[in-house]
Structure 1
C-alpha cells in the first residue's frame, strides 16, 4: 500500500475516479460501486476461498468489459445455504485488509423473485476514512451439490495505483 492513511487513499482514489468518469463517460456512482465490489470480493475470496462463485453483471463486466452494464448488486453462487453464507460474509467483512476500507453487512428481506431458501440478499456498506464510500447489494444464490466449474477472473484495476494487487476470483 502506497498510502499511509485512509484519508490520503480516499483523496487519491476520489480524484482518479473523477478523472475516469470524465474520460469514459461512466457515472461516478458506477465506478464507486465497482471499487466496493472489488474490495468486497477481495474479502470474500480471502475469508472463504473456493466457496463463492462470482456471477451476474459484475462477472460479465470483468470478463467482457466492452459489453459491461451498470449494476447495483454483485451476484455470487454457493453450494451450501444461508447460514454458511452469512457466517462467511461476516468473517469477510471483519477482515482488515491493507486498503483502509471498513465493511458492514446486514440481511435484507427484499429478494422475492426466487423460491424460498434459493437466494438471500445482503446490504453492504463500505466506509473509507470514517465516511460512507458507497452502499451495494450482495445477492447470494444457492445450488444443491457442488459448485459448477468456473474460470478465474481478475478484478477491476481501480486500486493498482495504490499498490494493491488485482483480486483473482472464480
Structure 2
C-alpha cells in the first residue's frame, strides 16, 4: 500500500486489517506515522488482526526517538528498525538488525553491495578518515566527518544541474 498522503489512522488500520498477509508485512514510514499508531487508543481491542501483521516496521526520513519506538512496540507488538538513506540514494544505504534488537540512533550496517566511509566535511580531497571498518584505528566518535557511500543505489547526477552535481557527487578511486 502506498498513499500520496497518509490517511487518518483508523483508515490506515482498516486497510492493514483487510490485507491478506498471513506471514505479516513490512510497514515503512517516518516517526510521525509510528507515533500515530503508538498513540492510538485501544488499538489491540479495536484492530486485533493488525497486531499479527506488523512484524517488521522500518523507520526513516529522520531519527526515531525512544519514547515513540517503545510505545509503538508496546501498543502493536511489532518491531521497528531504523534505516539510513539519502535523497541521492534509492532509497536505503543501511539498516539496523532486522531480526533482533536494534539500538536507538544506530544506522546499522550497509545493505549488500554498499560501501561507505567517513570523509572530512570541509575537504573531500584529503581522502577518507576511515572506510567503514570498525577495526580501523580512525573509526569511532573521535573521528567525525561526512558519511559518503558507494553502491548501485547512488544516483549518477542531478538531471541538467551540473553545478549541483559537482558540489554533491564526488569520485574517489574512480567510484561515485
Q: TM-score, normalised by structure 1?
A: 0.27
Larger Cα-atom Rg: 2
Q: TM-score, normalised by structure 2?
A: 0.26
Q: Which structure has more strand as a fraction of its residues?
A: 1
Structure with bigger RCO (C-alpha 8 Å, 6+ apart): 1
